[in-house]
Amino acid sequence: MSTEELYSGREQTLVKHYILEKYIERFAHIIGSFCQTITYVDCFAGPWNVYSPNLDDSSFSIALRQLREAKATYADLGRTLKLRCFFLEKDRDAFDKLQRFAATVQDAEILCRNCELEAAIDEILQFVNAGGRGSFPFIFIDPTGWSGFGMDRIGPLLKLNPGEVLINLMTGHIRRFIESPDEHTQDSFKALFGSADFQQTVAGLSGIHRDDALIEAYAANVRKTGGFNYVCSAIVLHPEKDRTHFHLIYATRDPKGVEVFKQAEKKAMSVMEAARADAQQRKRQTKSGQTELFGSDALHHPGYYESLREHYTSRVHDRVLLLLQGQKRIAYDDIWDSTLTEPLVWESDLKEWIKEWITKGEVRIEGREPKERTPKREHGHYLVWQ
Ligand SMILES: C[S@@+](CC[C@H](N)C(=O)[O-])C[C@H]1O[C@@H](n2cnc3c(N)ncnc32)[C@H](O)[C@@H]1O
């Protein structure tokens, strides 16, 4: 089946799987260069709404393919990269399919469990710890709603060090219910965020500002709970509507992880806009009963996506400018840190702004070799406001 067929009508899953695939591809190669083992944990494994009879379009299959690629790369170099996976799924039918898939895998140690995540935390920790000191865990949390992964309950998974986490936060659902007066709903949000602080954070806000506040509050709690240095978020838009479907929240302790995640996010945004163009054309054609003369990309209006990009790039641009004007001299690494944790902002944007400020004579770069045209991370470069 083609990618279009596998993801038709669920293009948001294509974007999620694309980011997961691109990230794990690089992650596994990088981690394999200094660790003997990768322990991959899919806490809401599915399979769920898959079209492929081989489950090729499930997150666990996609991740395992990439982990195997890295294993093959290191095997060619005469090294063994051990793969270990913990796949968790609460639905019995889905679990049976998951288990049948796992039974076909010979080159990785796989443990499948049929229960809810919050009841399996100790067992996941035992499995991760059994990987030994040379093992690096990656935790993927991909729920259907906002319950079942309360911050306090997943805290021990976030604290795994070394370790990284990718969480799908269902912004679209959360946005609709966040101000519900229902006590049970409010308790479920307190569990999700790990405190009631989010209520003050979002009070009086609407639209994108409310989404931003929600994500920032959640990201701050992930960062604090896990002791992470960086938490980034990527926006995944609804295929047919101009609104955010969910955010992928990625947490790491290493700037290299941020670099790789941001590259995956940047590439995924082109994939997302192309898939949204197809989905929106399909919807128009179904409604009108007529086939359009031009291709979906020619007819697509990326205005909403572009307005979001403008929102985040101008926000970060102004923040960096204020920092520079206030502190006068800042390490490029520090500016990079505060820029790249925002969605839809990339290092290429930062370098473009710096080029403009240099052209205007407002900024100079300190610590740069004569042949280095732009500042680089981990090179001792400073930006000086003049
Ligand atoms: C969004 S789907 C996962 C999709 C999958 N990660 C993928 O991308 O291919 C969520 C899955 O988690 C399962 N699930 C729901 N609540 C759960 C819980 N509390 N613990 C474990 N699994 C759960 C559902 O049955 C469903 O299969």
Q: If the chain, 386 residues long, is cut into consecutive pieces of 10 residues, what is the mean pLDDT of each piece?
A: 91 97 98 98 97 96 98 98 98 98 97 98 98 97 96 98 98 91 94 92 91 96 98 97 96 97 97 93 89 84 94 96 95 94 96 95 91 89 95
pLDDT at position 1 is 87
The answer to whether 276 touches 9, Cβ cutoff 8 Å, is: no
Kindly state if the Cβ of 228 falls inside 6 Å of ligand 1. Answer: no
Q: Which of 124, 189, 111, 192 is nearest to 156 (CA)?
A: 124
Kindly state if the Cβ of 44 falls inside 6 Å of ligand 1. Answer: yes
What is the atom index within ligand 1 of the atom nearest the CA of 45?
A: 6
Long-range contacts (CB closer than 8 Å, 24 or more residues apart) made by 198-207: 202/178
CA of 67 to the centre of ligand 1 (A): 21
pLDDT at position 148 is 97
Kindly state if the Cβ of 143 falls inside 6 Å of ligand 1. Answer: yes
Q: What domains, with CATH codes, occur in the chain?
A: 3-277 (3.40.50.150), 302-385 (1.10.10)
Kindly state if the Cβ of 57 falls inside 6 Å of ligand 1. Answer: no
Tens digit of each residue's pLDDT (9 = 90 or more) over 155-192 = 999 999 999 999 999 999 999 899 899 999 999 999 99
Tens digit of each residue's pLDDT (9 = 90 or more) over 375-384 = 999 999 999 9
CA of 145 to the centre of ligand 1 (A): 9
CA of 175 to the centre of ligand 1 (A): 20
What is the atom index within ligand 1 of the atom nearest the CA of 57?
A: 9
Sign of the Cα torsion 128, 129, 134, 137 reads positive
Q: Give the SS3 label for residue 39.
A: strand
pLDDT at position 143 is 97
CA of 88 to the centre of ligand 1 (A): 8
Taking CA atoms, 105 is separated from 88, 99, 276, in Å, by 16, 10, 34
Q: Which of 378, 172, 112 is nearest to 259 (CA)?
A: 378
Both tokens assigned to 168: 């799908």
Kindly state if the Cβ of 46 falls inside 6 Å of ligand 1. Answer: yes
Kindly state if the Cβ of 148 falls inside 6 Å of ligand 1. Answer: yes
Kindly state if the Cβ of 285 falls inside 6 Å of ligand 1. Answer: no
Q: Give the SS3 label for residue 379.
A: coil
pLDDT at position 199 is 87
Q: Ligand 1 atom 3: the closest Cα is on which residue?
A: 46
CA of 115 to the centre of ligand 1 (A): 11
pLDDT at position 298 is 81
Using CA atoms, how far apart are residues 70 and 320, in angstroms rounded to an integer? 37
Kindly state if the Cβ of 58 falls inside 6 Å of ligand 1. Answer: yes
Kindly state if the Cβ of 144 falls inside 6 Å of ligand 1. Answer: yes
pLDDT at position 296 is 83
pLDDT at position 371 is 81
What is the atom index within ligand 1 of the atom nearest the CA of 91?
A: 25
Q: Ligand 1 atom 13: the closest Cα is on which residue?
A: 44
pLDDT at position 272 is 96
pLDDT at position 245 is 96
Kindly state if the Cβ of 94 falls inside 6 Å of ligand 1. Answer: yes
pLDDT at position 300 is 80
Kindly state if the Cβ of 257 falls inside 6 Å of ligand 1. Answer: no
pLDDT at position 292 is 85
Taking CA atoms, 325 is separated from 330, 337, 362, 363, 376, in Å, by 10, 18, 10, 10, 20
